[in-house]
Amino acid sequence: MSERTVTVKPSKPTKEKEEKTIEEQTLSMDETKTATSGKKEESGKVKSITELPGIGPQTAEKLLQAGYKTLESIAVASPMELMEAAGIGEITAGKAIGAARESLEMGYETADKILARRETLERISTGSKELDSLIGGGVETQSITEVYGQYASGKTQWAFQLCVMTQLPTEQGGLSGNILYIDSENSFRPERVVSIAKAKGLDPEKTLKNIFVARAYNADHQMLLAEKAVEMIAPKNIKLIIVDSLTSLFRSEFIGRGQLSDRQQRLNRHMHTLQKVAEMHNVAVLVTNQVMSRPDVLFGDPTSPIGGHIVGHNSKTRIYLRKAKENKRVAKLVDSPSLPDGEAIYSLTDAGIEDA
């Protein structure tokens, strides 16, 4: 008797079963979306550079090498700056900046929060009580302080003095920090720093090792040194950046009214870089500036700092220095957003800046 093979065909799904299956799949997809959304909510907003859209590990490494180590530094950058630093496109740079700003909620804030942040500012003593009183306690962090005056008025002496004072502990008026010094006039003299350091009771050799000096040879080089400063701030515990002098190279390279616009644009970019570094990294910036004599001023002092409104608007504290009798100097507070105008007399001695 032959065996018969019986093939059982699968039953055709009913319409009711099909609808049920579709409904189950839809519910499953919704659950997946909800779970994913929940994970995003749990993780919050972007917390690191590698989480920014379009920024992979290699791009992130390039940004880190260029000094963009925090979301704040990305948020305040321009698309062009990120394009140059990491070799990315304008759209990618724009998206990364937008995401960083959204994550940090960079918008309006109440004035009491600004006051609280202002109270965290640190100050570097000048070594003179009269000067410190004039400028609110010393050279403050998170902003640019400009000193300008004629030849031999003592501008570079301020730079040397602060190179030493910054290294003192806070109870002695310093910040226990180190210094970046951009020298555009070949005027840095380590022997002068040594004499001031000895007067303050510091080890001269150690004091010099805590000052990182770079000689700027042209305006572009000076701007580059300022941009690269961010790479050294954290590793070297930098608390003060000095540019001596701010306008010398710009003034010598861009000659005549025909190049005035180009000079001012570059100078503006340079000042914005310094201001950004000061704010983002809580460091003080001191710039010295040259002056010119205005022929249109018939009465009063015709002395005017180089750089015009570009430098004036970016320097939060402006101090005009002039010589007096013997070793005396007069410092005049010309502009400050929080302090009244005034003058202070001090002495320049072998020990540095002292009360007269």
pLDDT on residue 28: 44
Domain boundaries, the chain: 49-104, 115-355
pLDDT in tens, 40-49: 334 457 888 9
Which candidate, 245, 342, 349, places its Cα nearest to that of 291? 245
* Beta bridge mates, 238: 178
Given a contact cutoff of 8 angstroms between Cβ atoms, the answer to whether 139 and 126 are in contact is: yes
What is the number of alpha carbons within 13 Å of residue 42 lying toward its C-beta?
6
Token pair for residue 106?
């960079």
Phi/psi for 225 (5° steps) reads -60, -40
Report, as an integer, the average pLDDT of 96-122. Answer: 88
Per the model's pLDDT, the better-predicted residue between 4 and 172 turns out to be 172
Given a contact cutoff of 8 angstroms between Cβ atoms, the answer to whether 247 and 306 are in contact is: yes
Residue 109: pLDDT band (50, 70, 90) is: confident
pLDDT in tens, 287-333: 999 999 887 777 778 889 999 999 999 999 999 999 999 999 999 99
pLDDT on residue 55: 93
The superfamily (CATH) of domain 49-104 is 5' to 3' exonuclease, C-terminal subdomain (1.10.150.20)
Report, as an integer, the average pLDDT of 152-167. Answer: 98
Q: If 0-12 CB within 10 Å is exposed, 13-18 middle and 19+ buried, where does residue 29 land?
A: exposed
Residue 143: pLDDT band (50, 70, 90) is: very high
Measured between alpha carbons, how far is 136 from 128 in angstroms, rounded to an integer?
12
* Beta bridge mates, 31: none
Given a contact cutoff of 8 angstroms between Cβ atoms, the answer to whether 169 and 122 are in contact is: no
Q: How much is the mean pLDDT over the chain? A: 88
Per the model's pLDDT, the better-predicted residue between 176 and 75 turns out to be 176
pLDDT on residue 4: 52
Task: Return the residue matching tokens 């002056």.
Answer: 291
CATH class of 115-355: alpha beta
Residues in the chain: 356
pLDDT on residue 120: 84
| 3-state secondary structure string across the chain | CCCCCCCCCCCCCCHHHHHHHHHHHHHHHHHHHHHHHHHHHHHCCCCCHHHCCCCCHHHHHHHHHCCCCCHHHHHCCCHHHHHHHHCCCHHHHHHHHHHHHHHHCCCCCCHHHHHHHHCCCCEECCCCHHHHHHCCCCEECCCEEEEEECCCCCHHHHHHHHHHHCCCCHHHCCCCCEEEEEECCCCCCHHHHHHHHHHCCCCHHHHHHCEEEEECCCHHHHHHHHHHCHHHHCCCCEEEEEEECCCHHHHHHCCCHHHHHHHHHHHHHHHHHHHHHHHHHCCEEEEEECEEECCCCCCCCCEEECCHHHHHHHCCEEEEEEECCCCEEEEEEEECCCCCCEEEEEEEECCEEEEC
Which candidate, 67, 77, 82, places its Cα nearest to that of 104? 77
Q: What does pTM read for this prediction?
A: 0.79
Report, as an integer, the average pLDDT of 197-209. Answer: 98
The sign one gets for the Cα dihedral 18, 19, 22, 23 is: negative
pLDDT on residue 85: 87
pLDDT on residue 137: 97
pLDDT on residue 159: 99
Residue 1: pLDDT band (50, 70, 90) is: very low
pLDDT in tens, 56-78: 999 999 898 887 888 888 998 88
Q: Which residues, at least 6 apart from 48, have a Cβ–Cβ distance to it below 8 Å?
A: 71
Residue 117: pLDDT band (50, 70, 90) is: confident
